[in-house]
Structure 1
Amino acid sequence: MSSRVLGLVRDICFARFIGAQAGADAFYVAFKVPNFFRRLFAEGAFAQAFVPVLSEYRNNGSHKAVRLLIDNICGVLGSVLLVFTVLAIVGSPVVATLFAPGFTADKEKFTLASELLKLTFPYLFLISMTGFAGAILNSYDRFAIPALTPIWLNVCLIVSAVFVAPYFDQPVYALAWGVLVAGIVQLLFQLPFLARLQLMPRPKLNWRHEGVTKVLMLMAPAIFGVSVSQLNLLLDTVLASLLPTGSVSWLYYSDRLSELPLGVFGVAIATVILPSLSRLHAGENPKTFSITLDWAIKMVTLIALPAAIALFILANPILTTLFHYGKTTAFDIEMSSLSLRAYSLGLLAFMLIKVLAPGYYARQDMKTPVKIGIKAMAANMIFNILLVVPLYYLFNIGHVGLALATSLSAFLNAGWLYWGLVKGEVYQPQPGWRLMFFRMLSANTLMAIVLVVGLFLLPSWVEQTVLARIVWLLILCLAGAGTYLLALFVTGLRLQHLRLSHKA
């Protein structure tokens, strides 16, 4: 949560100093591309493949065997990342063409994006190795340090935006340097904690090591399966580059806000349950496996529904309060609020994917999510065609179609993942879901009424001072959250109902 709050501060600084102009679009592409590959190599497919194998070694092997696995994985992963990073830096114009083809029509914007990629792409190597270290710590139930690590990225970028950017003719260069420095700081931050566990990696390049082979075999299909939502978002960036200037930035701001509850709760729950589910599978305990998965789904639903409703209703006030300063215009806010509402519709699905996918990866089943991912990607492309073209030509809001297509395909992805677990008798819903649905329906309805009425009674948001915006937004959020929690309490929900019990 600390990291996400600082992330909002970072994005406020971005909005103030670079706005949603051509330079901002170029930076967001240069920042998104290595982050996309980071999620493939570090937080996505690699982590999902590595953690179950590491859990097996912990259960069945010695500490020496675990260290040997880590050393060999570090050598193989590090060498692949290093080669890939160097190639991407050398071929940065090609990378820019692939991920932002619309920029080629604007030579200045295209050149800027290519130059920025040379500075930001080394972040891929650094943050992927940081993710490798974090996966080890998570496997040993050291969740706090990996969760705190992204704070350093936000700190470095805030310092770059506020104190360094004024010294550059193009402020976005300062941000690109900030990304590079942040990668170094984040990696160094985690190493002492690995040393405490006596698991400091000593890279060895042995492709034939049994554990390395197993991780690579599991990782290959998982690269696609676990990163479908990221591929969809990246596809949005590619298509947005073909739309009017500002589209990439509008999607960035709205995506960042929709990721706030996803990053704070969805990723946190998924991070915690993957090692647990992996150990339960290794220990052949299917009943507790199902109960743990049921708890995760319940927690995600309780958080995602009110968050989605609040983001939909308060999209404009939130964006105005956070970003309507400096170079960000009222038009930028209006465009971003439309795509934020579209993303909010898919928030529940985004969060469910985070907790349903570990149900497959913990059992080392990588093929099923891949098949589902392919279908979801195809659906997203169809939705893009069906939505972007008419929304662009009729209302000039093609970027909203991109966000809406992503949300719709996410629901298909989550639905197919859920059905696969139920059909395979891996997951069975536990008793009490009907009552839980009644409680959530009542609480969310009352919360929505309070937010709509409160928004209607307040004066024009744009005309308010900064302090007034912050105060009124806090009041609205507290009123909505208070109504939601009170309604849950009145309908009988208690804290003990939210605890993970291994009894059905």
Structure 2
Amino acid sequence: MRSGLVVGVMTMLSRVMGLVRDVVVATLFGAGNGADAFFVAFKIPNFMRRLFAEGAFNQAFVPVLSEYATRGSKREVRELLDAVAGSLTAVLALITALAMLAAPWLVWVFAPGFGRDPAKLALTADMLRLTFPYLLLVSLTAFAGSVLNTWNRFAVPAFTPVLLNLSLIGAAVLLTPLMSEPAMALAWGVLIAGFAQLAFQVPFLARLGLMPRPWPNFAHSGVKRILILMAPALFGVSVSQINLLLDTVLASLLTPGSVSWLYYSDRLVELPLGVFGIAIGTVILPALSKRHAEQSGEHFAAMLDWAVRAVLLLGLPAALALAILAEPLLISLFHYGAMTEHDIVMAAMSLRAYAFGLVAFMLIKVLAPGFFARQNTKTPVKVGIIAMVANMVFNLILIWPLAHAGLALATALSAFLNAGLLGWLLHKQGVLVFQPGWGRYAVQLVGGCVVMSVGLAWLAPEWQQWLEWGVSARVQWLALLVVVGAAIYFAWLGALGVRPRHFRMRG
């Protein structure tokens, strides 16, 4: 729990800076062609980052590294780090070079609707050549972060994304006036951030005596095991990201601005997802891997149950608050400069759809480690493929009546299918064992969510009123609603006997 709080606080700082970044971008670029082009040019390497660095690689690397750290010598650990760092660098350098050469074709694949506007397609391709090297740099950063997390140094990797947001804010403010195409400043900000994030983590690795000397060695037994585990994990842990990317592909075919509406609404959902879901998933993976290496099945099952309870404790009220306060949140953060009232209405539709799936997104983050910690990556792949197919079916059904909001709702529905199958299989295998007290806990949570929702709905002014207020009034009202909503929820839980000690789990 302490490690989860550390990661959560650092992630909260990162997400808040990310919202500041998005406010700056929305103010300067709105939802026009320049913003659409950047979001696609950034989404492609960012998607691959989550797929490779934080997805397949992390989930395959951490269990193997934990096993070496638990059972092997310091020399064996160093040899593994050298081989993995060198092999990862070689592969990603090749991918990066090919992607920069094929930038226009990549844009056409990921955003085919841009092909109707040659200028927009060319601008996105130019941006992609600047943003794609970020994949190599941030993957090496993720490698360093995985090592630090395995040695229980969670704060540094969790803080590192703040540097991305600071770089983008600085680039937007300082470089935009210098560019013939203003939005190109954001692409430079991404590249600068990649170097800054990697350089930040290097001293902490050196302090632990774990600074690798990269040398490709695909014949190393540890590298072979990681590659074997990575192949299926590419789909297993990153299905939600693939679904979001499919949303972008289809959104590029819709009304101009659809890509940006989905982006802004997704960013708000990413705040609680990162602070609660990803933070808990980050800290339990090395802990679960350690328990598996020690063959401590009872503690393994209890830890998974703890993670599910913790996610529901914070995920349910966060999802409801996002849905109830969709327009006020979007207005307070983004309704400045080029962002119009129509953009707010459209983004609120997709925000509510994403909020519906927030709990499922979080559950995936904590259930998937139950497989990866046991070095089982094949089962999440099968589940992931089912969820992807379902997402495409939902997309085709919902895009016509609901447009971009239908794409968001399809992603949410497929996430529930994904989380449900993962949980059922873990329970069937005896890995997820529900501990006593779930019936009472469910009543406590549902009651807290109901009274919080009623309180927010009664207290919040009509969203049109927010359009007339200045920044100060919006911030004050939003702060009041956040504080009151949280107070009502936790007061209800406290009155019904929920205490912090119930969420202590020794890792």
TM-score range, shorter chain: over 0.9
1:99 is matched with 110
* Matching residue of 1:284: 295
Residues 118-267 of structure 1: pairs in structure 2 closer than 5 A: 118-267=129-278
Amino acid in the other structure paired with 1:481: A
Taking the aligned partners of 1:411 and 1:330, their CA distance within structure 2 comes to 31
Name 1:415's counterpart in structure 2: 420
- The one-character-per-residue Cα deviations of 1:74-128 (angstroms, maximum 9, x if unpaired) are 1111100000000000000111011000000011111111110000001010001
2:32: which partner in 1? 21
Contact preservation (8 Å) 2:327, 2:463: no
Check conservation: 2:380, 2:422, Cα contact below 8 A.
Answer: yes
- Paired letter, 2:420: G
Q: Distance in 2 between matches of 1:166 and 1:433?
A: 57
2:52 and 2:464 mapped to 1: Cα distance? 48
* Identity fraction in percent: 58
Whether 1:469 and 2:474 are equivalent positions in the alignment is: yes
Aligned amino acid, residue 223 of structure 1: L
Q: In 2, Cα distance between the equivalents of 1:344 and 1:378?
A: 21
Match of 1:403 among 405, 408, 433: 408
Partner of residue 395, structure 1: none
Is contact 2:45-2:134 (8 Å) kept?
yes
SS at match of 1:205: coil
* Counterparts of 2:506 and 2:470, CA distance in 1: 48
Give the Cα separation in 2 of the matches to 1:258 and 1:309.
Answer: 11
Select the residue among 116, 121, 139 that pairs with 1:110: 121
Shift of the alpha carbon at 1:457?
7.0
Q: What displacement does 1:35 show?
A: 0.4
The question of 1:491 aligning with 2:496 is answered yes
Q: 1:305 corresponds to which residue?
A: 316
TM-fit CA distance, 1:458: 8.1
> Which region of structure 1 is more displaced relative to structure 2, 362-371 or 448-457?
448-457
Once the two structures are TM-superposed, the CA of residue 501 in structure 1 deviates from its matched residue by 5.7
| Separation in 2, partners of 1:244, 1:459 | 24
Partners of 1:311 and 1:283 in 2: CA distance: 41
Distance in 2 (alpha carbons) for counterparts of 1:399 and 1:457? 24
SS at match of 2:432: coil
Alignment-derived partner of residue 40 in structure 1: 51
Deviates more, 1:49-58 or 1:457-466: 457-466
**1:410-434 Cα distance to aligned partner (Å, 9 max, x none):** 0000000000000011111000111
Of 453, 470, 475 in structure 2, the residue corresponding to residue 448 of structure 1 is 453
- The residue type paired with residue 356 of structure 2 is L
Whole-Å Cα distance in 2 between the matches of residues 296 and 143 of structure 1?
A: 17
Over the residues paired in the alignment, what is the CA RMSD in angstroms? 1.0
Which one of 355, 363, 371 corresponds to residue 352 of structure 1?
363
Read off the aligned partner of 1:500 and give its amino acid letter. M
Structure 2 counterpart of 1:68? 79
Alpha-carbon separation, structure 2, partners of 1:359 and 1:459: 45
The count of aligned residue pairs is 496
Which amino acid counterpart does residue 468 of structure 2 have in structure 1? E
How big is the shift at 1:456? Answer: 4.4
How far 1:459 moved relative to its partner? 7.2
Structure 1 position 169, deviation (Å) = 2.6
Per-residue deviation at 1:162? 1.4
Matched, 1:10 2:21: yes
TM norm structure 2: 0.97
1:136 shift after superposition: 0.6
Find the aligned partners of 2:196 and 2:471 in 1 and give their Cα distance: 33
Once the two structures are superposed, the pairs formed by residues 314-353 of structure 1 within 5 Å of their partners are 314-353=325-364
Structure 2 residue 104 is the aligned partner of structure 1 residue 89: no
Distance 2:147 2:263 in 1: 31
CA distance in 2, matches of 1:148, 1:457: 36
- The 8 Å contact of residues 328 and 463 in structure 2, kept in 1 or not, is answered as no
Give the distance between the partners of 1:453 and 1:424, measured in 2 at CA: 45
The alpha carbon displacement at 1:302 in A equals: 0.4
Aligned-pair CA distance for 1:54? 0.3
Deviation at 1:214, TM superposition (A): 0.3
Which structure 1 residue ranges, 4+ long, deviate > 4 Å from structure 2?
456-459
Q: How does 1:431-442 map to 2 (within 5 A)?
A: 431-442=436-447
Tell me, which stretches of 5 or more residues in structure 2 are unaligned? 1-11
Shift of 1:390: 2.5
Amino acid paired to 2:439:
R
Could you tell me how far 1:165 is from its partner in structure 2? 0.8
